[in-house]
């Protein structure tokens, strides 16, 4: 119930104004968000690289309402790619198609995503496409498949809590598209998603086996130690070299586990968000783990 309440709050414009105006909330959000600017993001990337970690850089923003806004998002993504290339950082980028105009026209989102994919290909950087709410899943995969025809540097996220996702994973494996497997962080109806955590975990484990067996470059996104252990078991079973897959974790979440994975010699990429539109992302992080919510509330009490 608490998780559902927090996820619903992520879409509230009123609560967004209240929370983003609260300096304590902003301070707590800094645990999960690199800052407002690309300069601040660069500082965080360099610290993570120094710790042996790669980065997936995410410019925060979603659900743009005009073509001009979509093109502004594209410009921000291109600037991030150029900064990564110019400064020699170990990072790639992650994009949201609703930031590129998916709510306006699918063709617009494809056009803008193509610009980002093209620049990424020029510099040898992967462009990861985030999976958003379930209503966007089909259109997201159609755009990714279209991008695949011209660009071999595009990957996509798949969420295990959606009933459709096993079929989606099979489709992506056949197409040879790298997949980032997550459990899912949006509020969804039980008509389209598993409502119980145990079912989501079971679906994740089954999909993880198929991912590691058949995908060209699996990205295992989890903070669950059980899933980390299962990944190691499946990697051995499917005879995968460590340079053919990676773990992914979120900035500011389970740093102890991140350090452990790196110390054991596995690839780890940290999903690093930055930008002023941090409220929806922040609320989804609070909803995911009770420890995150406790951290937030305890800081409010200290005010």
Distance separating the N- and C-terminal Cα atoms of the chain: 27
- Does 289 participate in catalysis according to the annotation? no
> Considering 58, 103, 119, 130, which one is annotated as catalytic?
130
Buried b (16+ CB within 10 A) or exposed e, 65-94: eeeebbbebbebbbebbebbbeeebebbbb
Q: What is the tally of helices (H) and strands (E) in the chain?
A: 13, 8
> Considering 58, 103, 180, 284, which one is annotated as catalytic?
180
> At 4, which helix (H) or strand (E)?
helix 2-9
Q: Which of 285, 255, 262 is nearest to 6 (CA)?
A: 285
- Does 168 participate in catalysis according to the annotation? no
Burial (CB count within 10 angstroms: exposed 0-12, middle 13-18, buried 19+), residue 50: exposed
Q: Are 129 and 95 in contact (CB under 8 A)?
A: yes
What is each CA distance from 5 to 8, 54, 79, 184, in whole angstroms?
5, 33, 36, 16
C-alpha span between 41 and 94 (Å, rounded): 14
Q: Are 234 and 208 in contact (CB under 8 A)?
A: yes
Q: Are 228 and 262 in contact (CB under 8 A)?
A: no
CA angle 51, 75, 285 (to 5 degrees): 50
> At 170, which helix (H) or strand (E)?
helix 165-175
Residues taking part in catalysis: 130, 180
């Amino acid at each position: 119930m608490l998780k559902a309440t927090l996820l619903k709050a992520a879409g509230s414009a009123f609560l967004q104004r209240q929370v983003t105006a609260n300096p304590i909330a902003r301070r707590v959000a800094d645990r999960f968000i690199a800052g407002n600017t690309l300069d601040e993001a660069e500082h965080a990337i360099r610290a993570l690289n120094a710790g042996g970690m790669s980065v997936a850089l995410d410019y925060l923003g979603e659900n743009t309402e005009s073509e001009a806004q979509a093109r502004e998002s594209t410009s921000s993504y291109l600037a991030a790619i150029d900064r990564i290339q110019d400064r020699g950082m170990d990072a790639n980028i992650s994009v949201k198609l609703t930031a590129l105009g998916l709510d306006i026209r699918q063709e617009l989102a494809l056009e803008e995503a193509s610009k980002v994919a093209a620049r990424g290909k020029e510099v040898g950087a992967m462009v990861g496409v985030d999976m958003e709410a379930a209503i966007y899943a089909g259109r997201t995969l159609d755009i990714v498949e279209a991008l695949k025809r011209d660009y071999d540097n595009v990957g996509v996220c798949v969420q295990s809590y959606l009933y459709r996702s096993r079929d989606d994973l099979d489709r992506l494996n056949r197409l040879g598209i790298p997949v980032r497997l997550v459990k899912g962080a949006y509020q969804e109806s039980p008509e389209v998603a598993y409502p119980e955590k145990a079912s989501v975990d079971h679906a994740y484990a089954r999909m993880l086996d198929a991912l590691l067996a058949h995908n060209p470059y699996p990205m295992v996104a989890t903070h669950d130690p059980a899933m980390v252990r299962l990944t190691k078991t499946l990697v051995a079973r499917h005879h995968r070299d460590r340079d053919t897959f990676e773990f992914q974790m979120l900035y500011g979440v389970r740093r102890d586990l991140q350090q452990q994975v790196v110390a054991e010699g596995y690839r780890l990429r940290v999903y690093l968000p930055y930008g002023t539109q941090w409220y929806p992302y922040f609320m989804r992080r609070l909803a995911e783990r009770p420890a995150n919510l406790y951290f937030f509330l305890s800081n409010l009490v200290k005010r």
